[in-house]
Amino acid sequence: MSPLKRFRRPWLWLGLWSFAVLLVIVFSLTPPPPVELPRHGDKLEHLLAYALLAAAAVQVFAHGRYLLSVAAGLVLMGIALELAQGALTSTRMADPADALANGVGVGLGMLTALTPWRDALLRYERGHG
């Protein structure tokens, strides 16, 4: 059984999702833009980024153990990137609260698997193939 849903073009959707993951990694390890955020506003950015990655994973990956594995991978990625920010960059710092926001975001994104929207991409592809 495939870890991906039964798309006509599964590698297209997996590629787009992987590119989004890569963007999060790059933006996490490069200097932040000179934008003034409200206090703790970056926590909302973390939560939203990881919620979107997780919700997109719900669209791409088959449910069950594959999706749980992706969720665990996203949580671990969020923790690892926080550690990398502290160890590998001089323009960022590790923040446990950011890692927590990442994990909460993954949980929120995964909740979309419990909604009728969980197969929206599959329905879209079948209707526009």
Is 63 inside any structural domain? yes
- Rounded mean pLDDT of 78-93? 93
Structural domain contains residue 36 = no
> Are the beta carbons of 2 and 67 closer than 8 angstroms?
no
The answer to whether 63 and 111 have CB atoms below 8 angstroms apart is no
> What is the domain extent for residue 94?
10-30+42-127
> Where do we find the tokens 């197969």?
119
Question: pLDDT of 100-127, one tens digit each?
Answer: 999 999 999 999 999 999 999 999 998 8
In a domain, 121, yes or no: yes
* Residue among 61, 43, 63 nearest 103 (CA): 43
Residue 88 host element (H or E): helix 65-88
Task: Indicate the pLDDT class of residue 41, thresholds 50, 70 and 90.
Answer: confident
Give the span between the Cα atoms of 58 and 114, in whole angstroms.
10
The total number of structural domains that make up the chain: 1
Question: In the structure, what pLDDT confidence band is assigned to residue 12 with cuts at 50, 70 and 90?
Answer: very high
Is residue 2, in this structure, part of any structural domain at all? no
pTM above 0.95, yes or no: no
Q: CB of 118 within 8 A of CB of 57?
A: no
Residue 48 has pLDDT above 90, yes or no: yes
Residue 53 lies inside a defined structural domain of this protein: yes
CA distance 92 to 68: 30
- Domain membership flag for residue 82: yes
Question: Does a structural domain hold residue 4?
Answer: no
On whether residue 17 sits in a domain, the answer given is yes
| DSSP-based three-state secondary structure for 61 | strand
Q: Is a pLDDT exceeding 70 seen at residue 84?
A: yes
4, β-bridge pairs: 61
Whole-angstrom distance, CA of residue 114 vs CA of residue 61: 14
Instruction: Answer with the residue of higher pLDDT: 88 or 109.
Output: 109
49 confidence band (pLDDT: 50, 70, 90): very high
Q: Which whole-number Å values give the CA distances from 81 to 78, 94, 96, 120, in the listed order?
A: 5, 8, 11, 30
